[in-house]
Chain A
């Protein structure tokens, strides 16, 4: 059972470039989340989804987009990369209701230069 997987593990982007961070879960969870973690700061919620076709903004959505076409996949899109988006990005999933445990992927480290 792989759980939550994320690709790539590490990426360097130039300012203005675009990229998609991939996230897949094999636990048949309805809820999926994207967080960013900056040094010395708590994880901040970017976007979340309660099921296929349904997404909603979190605390820090600006500069990002998401889609949820299947239960398993929840990609995060950066359209015009900025240095402020340098961070570690974590995808998570949970079975159903919000009070259930979220399970995290290994993270994608992104550096924007």
Chain B
């Protein structure tokens, strides 16, 4: 059974305080690892797809990396508007989601 574990469950940062979110996974036949952002009351919004170990992708203050067992979402100098829940999902036969990390960035 495919499994995705995200840590921490919640993270509070000061504006400008960089940190990383973790997504560890076990899956048979990884076809892709996805990161989504979800704001309260909204649907998940796509951020990144990673397909193979060693791959990295960046978008503004976010950078996603992938190894054979986990992925990290690095947030550099976050701003309050980065506050959201960040979801990780792995694609094998279907897409399996983790429970998410709730990020709060205080001014």
Q: A residues near B, CB below 8 A?
A: 4, 33, 40-45, 48, 58-59, 90, 92, 98-99, 101-107
Contact = CB atoms under 8 A, between A and B. Distances in A.
B43 A40 contact: no
Nearest to A33: B95
B16 interface: no
A41 B99 contact: yes
Contacts of A41: 99
A107 B43 contact: yes
A104 B45 contact: yes
The B interface is mostly helix, strand or loop, or mixed, namely: strand
Contact of B42 (A44, A92, A99, A107): A107
Is the interface on chain B under 10, 10 to 19, 20 to 34, or 35 or more residues? 20 to 34
B43 A105 contact: yes
Interface of B: 4, 31-32, 34, 36, 41-46, 49, 51, 87, 89, 91, 93-100
Contacts of A43: 44, 87, 89, 97
Nearest to A56: B94
Contact of B94 (A4, A48, A90, A107): A48
23 contacts: A33-B95, A42-B87, A42-B96, A42-B97, A42-B98, A42-B99, A42-B100, A43-B87, A43-B89, A45-B95, A48-B94, A58-B94, A98-B93, A98-B94, A99-B51, A102-B46, A103-B46, A104-B36, A104-B45, A105-B43, A106-B43, A107-B41, A107-B43
